[in-house]
Structure 1
Amino acid sequence: MHNAQPWRFSYFRGSRTFHVRADLARAMPHTDPDTRALHLGCGAALLNLRVAVAHGGWYPATRLLPDLADPALLATVQLTGFGSGESDLAALYPAIHQRHSSRFPFEETEIPEAVRTALSDAAHLEGASLSFATAWHLQEVLELVEEAEARNRTDRGSDEDLATWTRIGTPSVMSAADGVPEYAFGPRKRGGKAPVRDFAGARSVAGRTATAFERSPQLALLSTSRDHPEDWLRAGQAMEHVLLLATLEGLSSSFVTQALEWPDLRWPLRDPLSGSAHVQMVLRLGYGPGGPGTPRRPVPEVLDMQP
């Protein structure tokens, strides 16, 4: 959430193993009290690691939550079988550097069914399901997001989290290595139904314009059958797998997390056919301008090398 980057990596040379740990100092106790969103973010970082390992020609032997006595140790990834990299994962590598959240209007062009199927298959490979909301279900999702946005505008804790992790103003503030800088906010929404979060909140951003967004947003719901930390990590990997493939397919994307931040609004988002899946993320997908890159923490802050 909010580009907090709540992860740390340790690499153990002797065993050729990465440890992926949660950086709980970057948690958001108000907006994400159970650290579900933190686990999704770390799961996305884990998928990127697996892709990079496969790109390097190794097989990323991955274990989730390998030590129940150490819940901050989210995963281990051992580099094995030189030359036996997962080709499907390796092919995603270029998209890691291309994918950025886009908070700009998308075209009304419908995503082809073949692409939707490929994205759903990508989520399935990681143990999650992806479905596109349509008809009355889409309208229900949009109404739930609108309700969440209305709550966020008057909720002091949500506003404080937003203020902590957004960067407006002086060059020194804008050069921070985390958070969402004002140049990535995108324009204010003047019309349309796209559920785009306004990271500025009630604050003024000099020179920011307003524009109309798409009238028929294309929203994909990522779900898991259970709702535990391991499921959140699988969902995070599925989310990133979908986003990287979408990038290679020429799609832009952004996150729609507002309703997920309120437990009583998250449950009604679920698949109306099964009625049982737990929605972990809502993605806005479409054809439109790519978003700008946002800052990343320096490597020494997120990676340490061990014997």
Structure 2
Amino acid sequence: MSTSPYDTAALRLAAAAAVRAPSLLNSQPWLLRLRDGGIELLSDPGRQLTVADSGGWAVRIACGAATYNARLALAANGTPAEVVLRPYVDRPEVVARLTPGTPRPPTYAELDLHAAIPHRYSNRRPFWPDPVPKDARVRLIEAARAEGCWLDLLVGMTALSGFAQIARSADQVLRRDPMYQAEFAAWTHADSAADGVPVTAGGPAAEPQDLLPQRAFTDRRRAPGRDFEPEPLVGILGSAGDRPADQLIAGQALQHVLLTATDAGLASSMMSQPIEVPAAREQLRRALRRSGTPQIALRIGYGDPGRPTPRRDLDDVIVR
């Protein structure tokens, strides 16, 4: 069966899904364009966080997640894509090129995950104490593996406490950096801006007894002495290497895991502090006894419903 080149309709379909991907501080560092019958996803250097992401790791994770969403939208439309990451040696800003593959009906799994895209968001509020069932945990691990990555779910308080200590130490390092805190504040909004994190999307303010660190998006308090979560499910997603292409692969795996969680009725949020601080990241890798590289930490569970954060208009992210 012959394949037709992607057109403007396919581009907008892919872009509408891609922009729903997660990004550090909801910076949305991506652009999309139609070129020679294929859809190209580019990083947007103007949206790279200069302090928190000076090396571009978070941009590549976000663009990988956006690539996965675009792949999923095209597959759900019956026009699946063949994907080449970093297709041009001399143009690293082009992170992925999607060209038409053989048309086929979407699988049930693709339809379910595609349907989950508009419902996925970071839930930073305390989760309920209900444990995540074993079958859901297996699905999350398999989602990461399907994209060539690994997901370690921390079981037991010994593993969880060790991670929490690494995460809190990294969080303290970042809190002591005035330039980091200024950048963080600049991307936190009290209004309905199309990017950044609304204060309403933050969890309650941190307390000294909390196990895991929380970003200070709001000063909203909770009942004195109440734990944020006594024993959350934490997952560490990692890749075999840490080259730019590995980080793009990890971004795709991250989105596959997040959408799988959403489809299973689970809530999630990301913790990047132990990844942003190099010493903490290496400490975490050794604690996991992994030869690969941790790329992001996840908090997973059941929680009160919320709503996705705003996104820019498609006409702002589609370029020629």
Normalised by the length of structure 1, the TM-score is 0.90
Task: Tell me if the contact between 2:161 and 2:211 (Cα under 8 Å) persists in the aligned partners.
Answer: no
Equivalent residue in structure 2 for 1:133, among 151, 154, 159: 154
Task: Tell me if the contact between 1:189 and 1:210 (Cα under 8 Å) persists in the aligned partners.
Answer: no
**Which deviates more, 251-260 or 88-97?**
88-97
Pair 290,277 (structure 1): closer, same or farther in 2 beyond 3 Å: farther
Equivalent residue in structure 2 for 1:282, among 284, 297, 300: 297
Aligned counterpart, 2:28: 5
The DSSP-based 3-state class of the residue aligned with 1:188 is: coil
In 2, the alpha carbon distance for the partners of 1:117 and 1:36 equals 27
Counterpart residue identity of residue 86, structure 2:
L
Instruction: Quote how far apart the aligned CAs of 1:186 are.
Output: 2.5
Written as runs of structure 1 = structure 2, the 5 A alignment for 1:117-266 is 117-135=138-156, 136-168=158-190, 174-190=191-207, 191-200=209-218, 208-211=220-223, 212-266=227-281
Aligned counterpart, 1:171: none
Counterpart residue identity of residue 4, structure 1:
S
Instruction: Quote how far apart the aligned CAs of 1:87 are.
Output: 4.8
Counterpart residue identity of residue 197, structure 1:
R
In 1, the alpha carbon distance for the partners of 2:27 and 2:214 equals 19
Aligned counterpart, 1:26: 47
Counterpart residue identity of residue 305, structure 2:
G
More strand by share: 1
In 2, the alpha carbon distance for the partners of 1:194 and 1:104 equals 12
Instruction: Quote how far apart the aligned CAs of 1:182 are.
Output: 1.0
The DSSP-based 3-state class of the residue aligned with 1:139 is: helix
Counterpart residue identity of residue 176, structure 1:
A
Instruction: Quote how far apart the aligned CAs of 1:84 are.
Output: 4.5
After superposition, give the CA deviation of every residue in 1:251-298 in whole Å (9 maximum; x if it has no partner): 100011111111011111126454322000000000111332211011
Task: Tell me if the contact between 2:270 and 2:296 (Cα under 8 Å) persists in the aligned partners.
Answer: yes
Aligned counterpart, 1:303: 318
Pair 277,291 (structure 1): closer, same or farther in 2 beyond 3 Å: farther
In 1, the alpha carbon distance for the partners of 2:314 and 2:298 equals 28
Aligned counterpart, 2:16: none
In 2, the alpha carbon distance for the partners of 1:64 and 1:183 equals 35
The DSSP-based 3-state class of the residue aligned with 1:91 is: helix
The DSSP-based 3-state class of the residue aligned with 2:119 is: coil
Instruction: Quote how far apart the aligned CAs of 1:95 are.
Output: 0.7
Identity level (%): 34
Instruction: Quote how far apart the aligned CAs of 1:86 are.
Output: 5.3
Pair 291,28 (structure 1): closer, same or farther in 2 beyond 3 Å: same
In 1, the alpha carbon distance for the partners of 2:108 and 2:318 equals 26
After superposition, give the CA deviation of every residue in 1:31-75 in whole Å (9 maximum; x if it has no partner): 112101110011111111111111111111111010010000000
Written as runs of structure 1 = structure 2, the 5 A alignment for 1:56-71 is 56-71=77-92
Instruction: Quote how far apart the aligned CAs of 1:121 are.
Output: 0.6
Counterpart residue identity of residue 217, structure 2:
F
After superposition, give the CA deviation of every residue in 1:169-211 in whole Å (9 maximum; x if it has no partner): xxxxx121100011111222345424332224xxxx5xx3325
The DSSP-based 3-state class of the residue aligned with 2:49 is: coil
Pair 43,269 (structure 1): closer, same or farther in 2 beyond 3 Å: same
In 1, the alpha carbon distance for the partners of 2:291 and 2:67 equals 27
Counterpart residue identity of residue 258, structure 2:
L
In 2, the alpha carbon distance for the partners of 1:54 and 1:148 equals 39
Task: Tell me if the contact between 2:119 and 2:307 (Cα under 8 Å) persists in the aligned partners.
Answer: no
Aligned counterpart, 2:136: 115
Counterpart residue identity of residue 143, structure 1:
Q
Please provide the CA RMSD for this pair.
1.7
More contact order relative to length (CA 8 Å, sep ≥ 6): 1
In 2, the alpha carbon distance for the partners of 1:183 and 1:273 equals 34
